[in-house]
């Protein structure tokens, strides 16, 4: 789990191309990608978790997950994922019927279900209360560990840094400090 | 308004310009179309009014069935409200050139009223010149400067004498001009040529040779200032019309009296003459009779005389015959006597003759003996002499001979003595005298005998003569008598002939007199019949061109009532969706403002102003465009049919106001509604983001089979469709409106297009209707038909009685034609009677009821089986049953079998019209045929081809194409605005969702279908509804445009629906292409933004 600044998120996420420099992900320079290649990259390699969940209000939890899985090559079973994120009983609910934490779980489920190489999370706890935030972070960490998935969390909350394996500090758009946590703190111990 | 708020408002517009433009555009469309279509009619009317004012077109026109006089003009001049009066003379004339012939309406150039508009050349200056309409030159190939010769039929003056109409019939064209009386291309019908007036032309007054008027043009004081189509104008003119009608009675009477006097005097003269002639002829007849009587008398006398003469002659001849007979008898007696005496005498003569012959024998004997004696004596002497000289030998011989002779002499002398003795014995002394005596006696007796015979013969001859004479006399007398008889016979015959002649003459005389008397009676009857001249006081409405122009513009106006409704409805819905979106989007701002202490009105004002500004801007632009372009387009369209100046565009304040009001009510009203709905919430609620509209399960999900098979985009689409009801409605109404408008356009075109082939091809199969001078039936009709059929173009004919009838029903003044064919079985070859909805179901006329045309049944609400009260042209009213209702598009007809007519009206019906079918003919061939048919002036009074009506409608058709274009453009704009608005709403409202799915890795196409599918489905639904809506709209438009005498074919062609669909789809595709690129442009960063 790593933490980066938002504009870099757009580069990593293939949402935008960098004007200069290189963005190499999985040995591929995505900054050279055409729109279509970028889309393909987003589609197959990236899972994205938004601060405001960005669920499709017109689809149920399960359908929101399926929305993502239907477009990639080897998706995970949406139901299994939703069960894993603890929403077994809420699968048929619409986002408006879910709490913020539940919605973010659905969003994470949606991102994970794509079986991406990279899970990008933009302030995943930003809109959540402390407790729910912790649960979400736990979920992310669990995913990272269990699914062997690279998870990048973008946050302003430096209190979260101890939980990351690697922390990249940004200031004014530039990474100025990269540190490795040999022993990341368990989430339960982190306070903010 | 607070400046901050104002600034906010302006920025708002800048920020949400798409929304602003949507409202602006739809308002522009609605107002533009409304104002444009609406103002076409007043603009065109205004143009016409200006044109009419310029040329000082009459307000009222007076026509009379028997012509008008200067007295009429004076009388009209004195009528209250009349401004100017002018009499004019109109007639139909033919102009021939190159074996062709055209019929023109000829009128004298008016001085003040209905002035001509000079187009080219100059106005005529003398009676040798004329001016024609521009089409005359293009149509006939003549040019200015050409001389044409005009043929006009002489007209009868009041005295009934023929009079030439024109002084100069060879006139030079000096220019072209238009007359405001003929703004349409309808020139009217005529009895001349092919029955159709081709052109109009004007000659100067000086060339008119008639001191009578056919028309009197009148202008009404104060009418010029008014708009000719306004009610005010109509009211003003109506006053004068009424005034004129009031004097018409008196003027008609005056004219009637004048004509009556003239005719009556003529009759009186004729009567007198007749009486004179009668008297004379009667006298002549009497004389002849008397002469004949005399002749007869004389004849009798002659006969009697003849008889007398004959009997007299007979008597006298009988007497003469008797006498002759007597004489004959006597003669016979005499003859008998004579015969007896003759016999006696003859006997005596015989005796005598016997004596005589004996005597003569004796005498001869004697003579012979004496002769012999002499000879013997001579011989003796000779011998004796010879003896002297003779030798002895010879002497002996002579001696011997002598002795012999001597013996002979002796013997002879004895014989003589014997004879003489014998004679003496018989008393004859002298034999010769006795012979003589006897001979004398014989001749005497013979003479006596012959005398007697002679006498008898004479008597016989006499008798014969008298017989002959008698016969001659008889012959001659009888000849004479016979002659006389013959003469009598001749004269008898003569008298008989004379009698017969007299009889004939009398008969003839009687006949002639009767005829003359009949003629006189007829003349008297005519006199009675001298129609009271009837005045027709006509206003401008009676001018075909004017009336149809006004009607046509009104029709455009009524279209303006329908179409913009769709636009305003859509405008309201667009405002409703955009404004409610806007209000919703700005909940927080509203809440903040509310929390800051702004009151509801102040907050609402922003949105109201926003909507108002869009509406007013759109409206004004719409007005500008609408007022400037649509009337022009509509007018240009009509310019093909109507010859009026270029349309004068004007700002029609009332229409502008109405349009703006409608727009403002739709948009600002919708905005107000949204504001009120939102503003009732308290600031706290408002400041919290509105909970997003909950996703809802839709009905479709319950049908799991379908739902399972739907992709997510489809599911989203389905749920979205049901989620945003306003948008749903707006789009569907918009698209439906688009499709409907297009279908209506094409449908209207179809209706008119079909009407013509339907009416003139399938229903009226005949090509010519030939009206007869007199009603005919049986052989007479057959003869006329045969004559007509001699033209090789004519393939089939049928006679029919066509008369104007009425159906007696409240408030019905439809003019209806009753058609009674001579033969119901053949009718279907000429006129097809059938069910419109099931064309294969044909009707035929029977004796149970009549068949009426469909529009008539609609107008009067008559159903099959109903009874109607029919009034025929004689004014008889009868009830008949309606058995069927038949397909028909133009005019009203009632069809009836002749048997039914006979039973119902108790009247034997005869044909006055012949319908004929021709081979395919060009226009000139038709004209030619028409001319030939009209040559049979004894029987045929008019010929009209159905192609003339066809042509008229074909022009209308061409105009319809323009209407269709306008509608397509309107419909397209509507579809574009609505779909664009939907797109705009969808994108801006769901930008986050869209950005998200983009981030999720949806390809552009997938993103597009995520949104586009909604548009497509809505479009499809809209089109489907539009197909129905189009049908309804078409029906409405058809009903609006339909005249009372026409019925449009309400069957919309499948192709029109196809066009409706295709064109709508075309616009939808345009919007979808825009959608695609708009979606492509969406920045994924949007997904990262916080929820407002």
Q: Which of B380-394, B695-709, B878-892 has the highest mean pLDDT?
A: B878-892
Using one digit for the tens of pLDDT, what is the confidence trace for B1044-1057? 667 877 778 888 89
Dist CA B587 CA B690 (whole Å): 8
| Contact status of A161 with chain B (Cβ, < 8 Å) | no
Cβ-Cβ contacts under 8 Å, A48 against chain B: 999-1000
DSSP characters over B852-882: EEHHHHHHHT--TT-EEEEE-TT--EEEEEE
Q: What value, to the nearest 5°, has the Cα angle with vertex B623 and ends B617 and B626? A: 135
| Contact status of A132 with chain B (Cβ, < 8 Å) | no
Are B767 and B917 in contact by the 8 Å Cβ rule? The answer is: yes
- State mean pLDDT over B891-905: 90
Dist CA B490 CA A102 (whole Å): 151
User: The tokens of B41 are what?
Assistant: 């009619």
A173 in a domain, yes or no?
no
Secondary structure in 3-state letters for B667-686? HHHHHHHHHHHHHCCCHHHH
From residue B571, alpha-carbon distances to B28, B154, B443, B1045 in Å are 9, 68, 178, 37
Per-residue pLDDT at B28 exceeds 80:
yes
Give the least confident one: B39-53, B384-398, B902-916.
B384-398
B402 three-state secondary structure = helix
Dist CA A41 CA B319 (whole Å): 175
Dist CA B847 CA B657 (whole Å): 60
The ipTM estimated for the assembled molecules is: 0.89
Per-residue pLDDT at B689 exceeds 70:
no
A128 in a domain, yes or no?
yes
Are A41 and A14 in contact by the 8 Å Cβ rule? The answer is: yes
Are B64 and B658 in contact by the 8 Å Cβ rule? The answer is: no
Are B176 and B121 in contact by the 8 Å Cβ rule? The answer is: yes
Q: Rounded to 5 degrees, what are φ and ψ at B111?
A: -85, -45
Using one digit for the tens of pLDDT, what is the confidence trace for B599-644? 888 888 888 888 888 899 999 999 998 888 888 877 877 777 788 8
Using alpha carbons only, how large is chain A's radius of gyration in Å?
A: 16
Percent of residues in chain A assigned helix, strand, coil, to nearest 5: 45, 15, 40
DSSP characters over B403-436: HHHHHHHHHHHHHHHHHHHHHHHTT-S-HHHHHH
Give the least confident one: B513-522, B748-757, B958-967.
B958-967
- State mean pLDDT over B104-120: 90
Per the DSSP assignment, residues forming a β-bridge with B533 are none
pLDDT at position B203: 92
Per the DSSP assignment, residues forming a β-bridge with B1046 are B890
pLDDT at position B177: 92
DSSP E strands in B210-275: the ranges are 213-220
A153 in a domain, yes or no?
no
pLDDT at position B953: 66
* Whether A59 and B695 lie within 8 Å, measured CB to CB: yes
From residue B109, alpha-carbon distances to A120, B129, B707 in Å are 96, 11, 83
| Contact status of A43 with chain B (Cβ, < 8 Å) | yes
Are B1059 and B744 in contact by the 8 Å Cβ rule? The answer is: no
Are B1011 and B1079 in contact by the 8 Å Cβ rule? The answer is: yes
A92 in a domain, yes or no?
yes
Dist CA B136 CA A185 (whole Å): 107
| Contact status of B1006 with chain A (Cβ, < 8 Å) | yes
Lookup result for tokens 């987003």: A42
Nearest to B992 among A42, A54, A71 (CB): A54
User: The tokens of B1048 are what?
Assistant: 């449009």
Nearest to A95 among B695, B715, B1090 (CB): B695
Dist CA B269 CA B523 (whole Å): 12
Per-residue pLDDT at A4 exceeds 60:
no
Are A94 and A57 in contact by the 8 Å Cβ rule? The answer is: yes
A166 in a domain, yes or no?
no
- Going by C-alpha positions, the residue among B289, B310, B234, B784 that lies closest to residue B547 is B234
Using one digit for the tens of pLDDT, what is the confidence trace for B795-842? 999 999 888 788 888 766 677 888 999 888 888 889 999 998 888 888
Give every CB contact of residue B493 below 8 A, 6+ residues apart in sequence: none
Res. A1 pLDDT band, cuts 50 70 90: very low
Cβ-Cβ contacts under 8 Å, B1088 against chain A: 6, 9-10, 50-51, 122
Pairwise pLDDT comparison (B766 vs B1015), residue with the higher score: B766
Dist CA B133 CA B156 (whole Å): 28
- State mean pLDDT over B162-182: 88
For residue B205, give the DSSP letter: G
Are B1043 and B1018 in contact by the 8 Å Cβ rule? The answer is: no
A165 in a domain, yes or no?
no
Res. B159 pLDDT band, cuts 50 70 90: low
Interface test with B, best of A15, A58, A63, A118 (most B CBs within 10 A): A58
Average pLDDT, chain A: 82
DSSP characters over B1013-1049: HHHHHHHHHHHHHHHHHHHHHHHHHHHHH--TTB---
| Helix (H) or strand (E) segment spanning residue B34 | helix B17-54
Q: Which of B53-67, B501-515, B558-572, B922-936 has the highest mean pLDDT?
A: B53-67
Dist CA B604 CA B988 (whole Å): 22
Using one digit for the tens of pLDDT, what is the confidence trace for B421-443? 877 777 777 777 777 887 788 78
Dist CA B596 CA B602 (whole Å): 12
Residues listed for chain B: 1092
Dist CA A138 CA A132 (whole Å): 10
Interface test with A, best of B701, B708, B1001, B1003 (most A CBs within 10 A): B1001
- State mean pLDDT over B322-343: 84
Dist CA B26 CA B159 (whole Å): 73
Dist CA B543 CA B860 (whole Å): 27
Q: Rounded to 5 degrees, what are φ and ψ at A51?
A: -60, -40
Q: Rounded to 5 degrees, what are φ and ψ at A108?
A: -65, -45
Residues listed for chain A: 192
- The share of chain B scoring above pLDDT 90, in percent, equals 9
- State mean pLDDT over B272-288: 85
Residue B974 to chain A, least CA–CA distance (Å): 29
Dist CA B538 CA B245 (whole Å): 10
Secondary structure in 3-state letters for B681-715? CCHHHHHCCCCCCCCCCCHHHHCHHHHHCCCHHHH
Cβ-Cβ contacts under 8 Å, A35 against chain B: 1004
Dist CA B954 CA B975 (whole Å): 31
Are B215 and B232 in contact by the 8 Å Cβ rule? The answer is: no
pLDDT at position B586: 79
Helices (H), B911-945: 923-934
A34 in a domain, yes or no?
yes
Per-residue pLDDT at A44 exceeds 70:
yes
Residue B912 CB neighbour total at 10 angstroms: 19
Q: Residue A116: left if φ>0, alpha if ψ -120 to 50, beta else—which one? A: beta
A149 in a domain, yes or no?
no
Are B189 and B8 in contact by the 8 Å Cβ rule? The answer is: no
- State mean pLDDT over B562-590: 79
Res. B289 pLDDT band, cuts 50 70 90: confident
Dist CA A30 CA B184 (whole Å): 75
- The share of chain B scoring above pLDDT 70, in percent, equals 94
Dist CA B153 CA B828 (whole Å): 39
pLDDT at position B956: 66
User: The tokens of B90 are what?
Assistant: 């109109």
Dist CA B113 CA B218 (whole Å): 8
| Contact status of B1081 with chain A (Cβ, < 8 Å) | no
Per the DSSP assignment, residues forming a β-bridge with B340 are none
Give every CB contact of residue B872 below 8 A, 6+ residues apart in sequence: B803, B805, B818, B878, B905
pLDDT at position B163: 80
Nearest to A43 among B693, B696, B1001 (CB): B1001
Instruction: For CA atoms B1031, B1036, B1039, B1040, give the dihedral sign.
Output: negative
* Whether B695 and A96 lie within 8 Å, measured CB to CB: yes
Average pLDDT, chain B: 83
Range(s) of the domain holding residue A96: 9-139
Give the least confident one: A10-19, B112-121, B735-744, B832-841.
A10-19
Q: How many domains does chain A have?
A: 1
Lookup result for tokens 């021709």: B918
Dist CA B934 CA B942 (whole Å): 7
Res. B692 pLDDT band, cuts 50 70 90: low
The alpha carbon of B942 is separated from its chain's Cα centroid by a whole number of angstroms, namely 3
B843 three-state secondary structure = coil
Per-residue pLDDT at B502 exceeds 80:
yes
- Going by C-alpha positions, the residue among B149, B424, B478 that lies closest to residue B306 is B478
- State mean pLDDT over B19-37: 85
CA distance between the termini of chain A: 18
* Whether A67 and B999 lie within 8 Å, measured CB to CB: no
Taking only residues 897 to 916 of chain B, the set having a beta carbon closer than 8 angstroms to any beta carbon of chain A reads none
Dist CA B945 CA B915 (whole Å): 10
pLDDT at position A3: 46
Check which CATH number belongs to the domain holding A48 and give it: 3.40.50.300
Per the DSSP assignment, residues forming a β-bridge with B155 are B163
Long-range contact set of residues B428-434: C-beta below 8 Å, sequence gap at least 24: B428/B359, B431/B359, B431/B362, B431/B363, B431/B366, B432/B363, B434/B359
Dist CA B909 CA B914 (whole Å): 14
Per-residue pLDDT at B690 exceeds 70:
no
Per-residue pLDDT at B793 exceeds 80:
yes
Residue B719 to chain A, least CA–CA distance (Å): 6
User: The tokens of A132 are what?
Assistant: 């729910």
B1040 three-state secondary structure = helix
């Amino acid at each position: 789990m790593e933490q980066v600044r938002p504009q870099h998120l757009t580069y990593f996420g293939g949402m935008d191309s960098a004007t200069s420099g290189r963005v190499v992900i999985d040995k591929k320079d995505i900054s050279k990608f055409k729109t279509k290649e970028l889309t393909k990259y987003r589609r197959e390699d990236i899972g994205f978790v938004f601060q405001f969940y960005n669920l499709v209000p017109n689809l149920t939890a399960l359908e929101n997950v399926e929305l993502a899985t239907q477009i990639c090559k080897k998706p995970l079973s949406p139901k299994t994922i939703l069960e894993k994120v603890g929403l077994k009983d809420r699968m048929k609910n619409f986002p408006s019927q879910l709490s913020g934490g539940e919605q973010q779980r659905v969003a994470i489920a949606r991102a994970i279900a794509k079986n991406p190489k990279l899970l990008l999370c933009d302030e995943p706890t930003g809109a959540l209360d402390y407790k729910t935030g912790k649960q979400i972070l736990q979920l992310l960490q669990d995913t990272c560990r269990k699914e062997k998935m690279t998870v990048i969390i973008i946050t302003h909350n430096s209190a979260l840094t101890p939980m990351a394996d690697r922390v990249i500090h940004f200031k004014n758009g530039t990474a100025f400090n990269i540190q490795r946590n040999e022993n990341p703190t368990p989430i339960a111990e982190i306070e903010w | 308004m607070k400046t901050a708020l104002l600034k906010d408002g302006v920025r708002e517009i800048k920020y949400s310009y798409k929304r602003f433009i949507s409202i602006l555009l739809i308002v522009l469309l609605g107002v533009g179309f409304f104002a444009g279509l609406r103002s076409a009619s007043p603009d065109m009317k205004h143009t016409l009014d200006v044109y009419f004012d310029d040329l000082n077109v009459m307000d009222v026109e007076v026509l009379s069935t028997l012509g008008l006089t200067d007295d009429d003009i004076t009388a009209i001049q004195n009528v209250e409200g009349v401004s100017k009066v002018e009499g004019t003379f109109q007639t139909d004339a033919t102009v021939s050139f190159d074996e062709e012939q055209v019929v023109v309406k000829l009128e004298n150039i008016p001085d003040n009223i209905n002035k001509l508009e000079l187009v080219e050349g100059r106005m005529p200056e003398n009676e040798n010149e004329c001016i024609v309409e521009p089409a005359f030159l293009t149509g006939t190939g003549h040019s200015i400067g050409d001389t044409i010769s005009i043929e006009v039929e002489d007209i009868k003056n009041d005295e009934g004498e023929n009079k030439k109409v024109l002084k100069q019939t060879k006139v030079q064209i000096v220019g072209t001009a238009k007359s405001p009386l003929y703004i349409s291309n309808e020139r009217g019908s005529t009895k001349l040529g092919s029955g159709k007036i081709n052109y109009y032309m004007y000659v100067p007054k000086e060339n008119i040779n008639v001191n009578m008027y056919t028309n009197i043009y009148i202008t009404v004081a104060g009418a010029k200032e008014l708009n000719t189509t306004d009610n005010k104008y109509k009211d003003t003119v109506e006053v004068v019309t009424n005034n004129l009608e009031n004097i018409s009675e008196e003027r008609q009477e005056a004219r009637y009296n004048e004509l009556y006097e003239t005719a009556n005097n003529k009759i009186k003269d004729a009567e007198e003459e007749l009486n004179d002639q009668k008297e004379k002829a009667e006298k002549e007849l009497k004389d002849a009779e008397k002469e004949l009587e005399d002749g007869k008398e004389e004849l009798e006398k002659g006969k009697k005389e003849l008889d007398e003469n004959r009997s007299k002659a007979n008597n006298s001849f009988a007497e003469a015959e008797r006498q002759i007979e007597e004489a004959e008898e006597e003669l016979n007696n005499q003859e008998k006597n004579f015969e007896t005496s003759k016999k006696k005498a003859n006997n005596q003569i015989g005796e005598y003759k016997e004596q005589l012959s004996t005597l003569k024998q004796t005498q001869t004997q004697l003579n012979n003996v004496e002769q012999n004696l002499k000879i013997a004596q001579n011989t003796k002497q000779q011998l004796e002499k010879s003896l002297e000289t003779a030798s002895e030998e010879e002497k002996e011989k002579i001696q011997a001979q002598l002795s012999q002779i001597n013996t002979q002499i002796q013997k002879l002398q004895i014989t003589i003595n014997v004879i003489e003795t014998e004679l003496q014995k018989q008393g004859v002394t002298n034999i010769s005298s006795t012979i003589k005596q006897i001979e004398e006696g014989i001749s005497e007796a013979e003479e006596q005998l012959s005398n007697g015979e002679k006498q008898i013969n004479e008597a016989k001859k006499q008798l014969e003569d008298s017989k002959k004479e008698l016969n001659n006399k008889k012959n001659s007398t009888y000849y004479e008598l016979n002659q006389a008889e013959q003469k009598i016979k001749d004269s008898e015959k003569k008298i008989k002939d004379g009698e017969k002649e007299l009889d004939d003459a009398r008969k003839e005389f009687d006949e002639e007199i009767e005829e003359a008397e009949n003629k006189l009676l007829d003349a008297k009857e005519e006199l009675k019949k001298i129609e009271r001249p009837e005045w027709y006081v006509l206003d401008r409405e009676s001018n075909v061109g004017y009336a149809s122009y006004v009607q046509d513009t009104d029709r455009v106006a009524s279209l303006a009532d329908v179409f913009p409704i769709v636009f305003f409805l859509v405008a309201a819905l667009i405002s409703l969706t955009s404004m409610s979106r806007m209000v919703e989007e700005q909940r927080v701002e509203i809440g903040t403002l509310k929390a800051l202490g702004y009151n509801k009105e102040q907050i609402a004002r922003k949105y109201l102003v926003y909507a108002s500004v869009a509406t007013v801007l759109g409206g004004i632009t719409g007005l500008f465009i609408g007022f400037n372009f649509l009337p022009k387009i509509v007018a240009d369209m009509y310019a093909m049919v109507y010859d009026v100046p270029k349309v004068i565009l004007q700002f029609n304040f009332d229409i502008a106001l109405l349009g703006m009001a409608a727009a403002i009510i739709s948009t600002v009203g919708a905005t107000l509604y949204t504001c009120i709905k939102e503003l009732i919430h308290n600031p706290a609620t408002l400041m919290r983001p509105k909970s997003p509209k909950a996703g809802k399960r839709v009905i479709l999900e319950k049908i799991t089979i379908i739902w399972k098979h739907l992709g997510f985009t489809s599911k989203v689409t389905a749920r979205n469709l049901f989620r945003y009801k306003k948008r749903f409605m707006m789009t569907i109404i918009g698209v439906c409106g688009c499709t409907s408008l297009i279908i209506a356009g094409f449908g209207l075109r179809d209706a008119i297009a079909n009407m013509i082939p339907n009416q003139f091809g399938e229903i009226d199969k005949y090509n010519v209707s030939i009206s007869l001078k007199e009603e005919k039936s049986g052989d007479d009709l057959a003869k006329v038909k045969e004559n007509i059929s001699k033209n090789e173009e004519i393939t089939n004919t049928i006679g029919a009685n066509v008369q104007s009838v009425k159906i007696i029903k409240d408030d019905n003044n439809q003019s209806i034609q009753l058609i009674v064919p001579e033969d119901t079985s053949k009718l279907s070859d000429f006129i097809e009677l059938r069910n419109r909805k099931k064309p294969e179901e044909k009707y035929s006329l029977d004796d149970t009821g009549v068949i009426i045309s469909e529009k008539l049944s609609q107008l009067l609400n008559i159903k099959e089986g109903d009874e109607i009260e029919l009034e025929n042209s004689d004014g008889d009213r009868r009830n008949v049953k309606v058995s069927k209702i038949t397909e028909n598009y133009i005019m009203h007809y009632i069809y009836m079998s002749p048997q039914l007519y006979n039973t119902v009206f108790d009247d034997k019906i005869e044909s006055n019209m012949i319908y004929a079918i021709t081979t395919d003919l060009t226009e000139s061939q038709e004209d030619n045929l028409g001319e030939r048919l009209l040559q049979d002036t004894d029987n045929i009074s008019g010929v009209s081809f159905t192609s003339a009506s066809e042509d008229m409608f074909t022009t209308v058709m061409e105009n319809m194409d323009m209407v269709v274009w306008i509608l397509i453009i309107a419909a397209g704009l509507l579809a574009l605005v609505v779909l664009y608005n939907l797109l705009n709403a969808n994108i801006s409202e769901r930008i986050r969702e869209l950005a998200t799915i983009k981030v999720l890795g949806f390809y552009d196409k997938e993103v597009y279908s995520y949104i586009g599918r909604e548009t497509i489905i809505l479009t499809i639904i809209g089109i489907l509804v539009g197909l129905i809506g189009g049908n309804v709209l078409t029906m409405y438009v058809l009903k609006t445009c339909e005249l009372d005498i026409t019925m449009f074919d309400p069957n919309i062609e499948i192709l029109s629906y196809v066009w409706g669909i295709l064109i709508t789809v075309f616009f939808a595709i345009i919007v979808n292409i825009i959608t695609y690129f708009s979606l492509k442009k969406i920045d994924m960063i949007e997904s990262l933004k916080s929820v407002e």
